[in-house]
Structure 1
Amino acid sequence: MKAELNIQSKKLELIQWLSTIEDMSVLNKIIDLKKQENQDWWSSISENEKQAVEKGLQDAEAGKLNSHSKARQLYDKWL
C-alpha cells in the first residue's frame, strides 16, 4: 500500500512539474522518452533475432521442445 502511495505521489509531482515547463526542447525530450517506452520490442531487435524467435515458435508448435532437466544439463555450466 505504501509503494502505491509513493507512486501516486511521484506522478502528481511530475504532473505539477510538467505544467510549469516552458522550454520546448525539454518537452520534446519527454515526448521522445514516452515514444521509446511505447516502442514494441519486436521492431528494436535485429533480423537474425527475429528469425531465431520465429524458428523457436515453429519448433514449439511442432513439439520440438526439451524438458527443463535437459536444458539444465545442456546449460548447467552457465547457470
Structure 2
Amino acid sequence: MDIKEYAMDIEATKLELMHLLLQTQKESLLAKVKKVFEDEGIDWWDDMDEQERQEAMTGLEQADKGEFVPHKKVMERFNKWR
C-alpha cells in the first residue's frame, strides 16, 4: 500500500467512525470513546501553530480584562441580519 492509499484508508476509517458516533444514542459508548481520546493525550492546543496559540492567549488575556462582547450580544447582532 502506498502513502496515498494509506491516507485514503485513514480518511475512510474516520468517516466511518464519525457516522457510527452520530448514529449512536448510547451514552456509555460515547463516554468510552471520549476516554480513549483523553487517555491518548490528544489536545487541540498541540495541533496549533505558534501564531494560533499566541492569538488564543491574547483573546484569553482580553477576556480576563473584560474586553469582550458577550455571546448574547453577538447573537442579537447576527439575528438582525436574518
TM-score (norm 1): 0.47
